[in-house]
Amino acid sequence: MLSWLNELIWADWIWFPEGYGWDDLKDHDGKVFPKTRDLWAVLPVSLCFLIIRQIFEQTIALPLASLLGVRDKHRVCASPNPVLESHFCSTSKHPTQRSIESLSKQTGCSVRQVQRWFRRRRNQDRPSKLKKFQEASWRFTFYLLAFFAGLAVLVDKPWFHDVKLVWENFPKMPLLTSQYWYYMIELGFYVSLVFSVASDVKRKDFKEQIVHHVATILLISFSWLVNYIRAGTLIMLVHDASDYLMESAKMFNYAGWKKTCNFIFTVFAAVFIITRLIIFPFWIIYATGVYPLSLYSTFFGFYFFNGLLVVLLILHVFWTGLILRMVIKFLPGNDIVEDERSDKEETESDDEDDCGKPKNGHVQNGHSVFNNHRKRD
Task: Examine the domain organization and report whether 110 and 225 are in the same domain.
Answer: no
Position 330 scores a pLDDT of 67
Position 366 scores a pLDDT of 40
Structural domain includes residue 2 = no
Position 200 scores a pLDDT of 72
Bigger pLDDT: 321 vs 334: 321
Question: What pLDDT digit, counting tens, does each position of 277-313 carry?
Answer: 999 999 999 999 999 888 888 889 889 999 989 988 9
Position 129 scores a pLDDT of 83
Task: Examine the domain organization and report whether 184 and 284 are in the same domain.
Answer: yes
Task: Examine the domain organization and report whether 116 and 199 are in the same domain.
Answer: no
Position 329 scores a pLDDT of 74
pLDDT band at residue 79 under the 50/70/90 scheme: confident
Query: Domain residues for 111?
Result: 82-125
Structural domain includes residue 374 = no
Position 196 scores a pLDDT of 84
Position 338 scores a pLDDT of 52
- pLDDT at residue 189 above 70? yes
pLDDT mean across residues, the chain: 82
Position 377 scores a pLDDT of 39
Task: Examine the domain organization and report whether 103 and 250 are in the same domain.
Answer: no
Q: At 355, which amino acid appears?
A: C
Structural domain includes residue 46 = yes
Region at 165 (left for phi over 0; alpha for psi -120 to 50; beta for the rest): alpha
pLDDT, average across residues 347-375: 46
Question: What pLDDT digit, counting tens, does each position of 133-183 carry?
Answer: 999 999 999 999 999 999 999 999 999 999 999 998 888 999 999 999 999
- pLDDT at residue 57 above 70? yes
Task: Examine the domain organization and report whether 97 and 149 are in the same domain.
Answer: no
Structural domain includes residue 352 = no
pLDDT, average across residues 189-208: 77
- pLDDT at residue 351 above 60? no
Position 332 scores a pLDDT of 53
Structural domain includes residue 313 = yes
Task: Examine the domain organization and report whether 154 and 178 are in the same domain.
Answer: yes
φ, ψ for residue 193, nearest 5 deg? -65, -35
Position 339 scores a pLDDT of 53
Task: Examine the domain organization and report whether 91 and 112 are in the same domain.
Answer: yes
Question: What pLDDT digit, counting tens, does each position of 96-119 carry?
Answer: 888 888 888 888 888 888 888 878
Structural domain includes residue 375 = no
pTM over cut 0.85: no
Task: Examine the domain organization and report whether 191 and 58 are in the same domain.
Answer: yes
Task: Examine the domain organization and report whether 192 and 135 are in the same domain.
Answer: yes
Structural domain includes residue 21 = no
Position 1 scores a pLDDT of 62
> Pick from 192, 196, 197, 222: which is nearest to 207 by CA?
197
- pLDDT at residue 29 above 90? no
Task: Examine the domain organization and report whether 98 and 143 are in the same domain.
Answer: no
CATH code, domain with 88:
1.10.10.60
- pLDDT at residue 363 above 50? no
Specify whether the CB–CB gap between 42 and 216 falls below 8 A: no
Give the Cα separation of 44 and 38 in Å (integer): 12
Give the Cα separation of 80 and 86 in Å (integer): 11
Specify whether the CB–CB gap between 10 and 22 falls below 8 A: yes
Give the Cα separation of 195 and 334 in Å (integer): 38
Count of structural domains, the chain? 2
Boundary-marking domain end, from 61, 96, 125: 125
Position 125 scores a pLDDT of 63
Task: Examine the domain organization and report whether 200 and 89 are in the same domain.
Answer: no
Give the Cα separation of 367 and 359 in Å (integer): 11
Task: Examine the domain organization and report whether 173 and 235 are in the same domain.
Answer: yes
Structural domain includes residue 11 = no
Residue ranges of alpha helices (H) inside 196-285 are 206-225, 229-255, 258-274
pLDDT band at residue 373 under the 50/70/90 scheme: very low
Position 347 scores a pLDDT of 54
Give the Cα separation of 148 and 133 in Å (integer): 23
**CB within 8 A of 46, min separation 6: which ones?**
188, 189, 191, 192, 195
- pLDDT at residue 187 above 70? yes
